[in-house]
Amino acid sequence: MSRKVTKAIFPVAGLGTRFLPATKSIPKEIMTLVDRPLIQYAIDEARAAGIEEFIFVTSRGKGALEDYFDHAHELEANLKRGGKSDLLDILRATNMDSGAIAYVRQHKAMGLGHAVWCARRLVPNDEPVAVILTDDVIMGEPPCLQQMIEAHAETGGTMVATMEVPMEKTKSYGVLDVAEDMGAIVKAKGLVEKPKENPPSNLAVIGRYILAPTVLNNLNKLREGAGGEIQLTDAIADEIVEGRDVFGLRFRGQRYDCGSKAGFLQATVAFGLERDELRDEFLEYLQEILSLQRAAE
């Protein structure tokens, strides 16, 4: 049986240039879907999966991200005086206990593998660790990471979240070479980062990982991969070469790529329609927009 996963790494050092000018002054991870920032969705998913320690890999200009998880004592006091208990509960749900969050800096953008490597000293060398990419927002029940941790308790090794994509889009992802397909879980015999041609499958790796301790050792090689960056998928592929198990989990849920503007808008619509207090009015508006577009055609 695998050791329990209690720590998660959140690589949040990116500049978010695809969302300029908004990200000129705020971290991309603070941008909101409905009324919660992207980072809150990631934290909520991690908490639901039993994560107890949160490691943020940040960079210069991310102070607002760090402040977000602090206690806002003045605001809490104002809400309490005003009897706004519902808002106070929402606010308190964003707070993190002292010592639960650690921050490390990635001083140079050298890829996802390098970002995870920056956190290596905060992860004991005999424990697995989760990695969550905040750009990938997943609507699922139970949450994606919880599904992975439950599966990992049985398989051990390293596990990645996977989903099927059209073959022509595999060049944008890490792609699994499948040794054994067991339904929800697949065992990998290889892993290719952004294959330019002849992808081994259409099972793409998306932004959820449970890494065996040896993966962090593999990252010590600091070997450049696709795009001249240090790729996490290369360190995971080394596990297979060295005879250790790597699995993919076909998670149950819908993934939204909030690293793109189109994906961010799609997620906003989906999460807006999930809210009881917004659904009817929002759906009516969307239907009006569609009717106007059809009438104009």
For the segment 27-74, what is each residue's pLDDT rounded down to a tens digit?
889 999 998 999 999 999 999 999 999 999 998 877 888 888 877 788
Give the range of the structural domain holding residue 21, as residue numbers without chain letter: 7-156+206-256
Nearest Cα residue to 239 out of 139, 155, 137:
155
The DSSP secondary-structure symbol of 3 reads P
Distance CA 282, CA 277 (A): 9
Q: How many CB atoms lie within 10 A of CB 187?
A: 17
- pTM (2 decimals)? 0.90
- Shared domain for 114 and 38, answered yes or no, is yes
- Shared domain for 235 and 115, answered yes or no, is yes
Average pLDDT, the chain: 90
CATH for 12: 3.90.550.10
- Shared domain for 105 and 41, answered yes or no, is yes
Task: Look at residue 185 and tell me if it is in a domain.
Answer: no
- Mean pLDDT for 282-287 is 93
- Shared domain for 135 and 14, answered yes or no, is yes
pLDDT reported for residue 69:
82
- Helices 38-48 and 144-155: crossing angle, nearest 10°? 40
Above 90 in pLDDT, residue 3? no
Antiparallel, parallel or unpaired: β 246-250 and 185-193: antiparallel
- Shared domain for 215 and 296, answered yes or no, is no
Number of domains present in the structure of the chain: 2
- Shared domain for 98 and 225, answered yes or no, is yes
What are 175's two structure tokens?
A: 């792609």
For the segment 222-241, what is each residue's pLDDT rounded down to a tens digit?
777 766 778 898 999 999 99
Q: Lowest-pLDDT range, 14-28, 91-105, 109-123?
A: 91-105
Distance CA 53, CA 68 (A): 17
pLDDT reported for residue 2:
63
Distance CA 259, CA 13 (A): 13
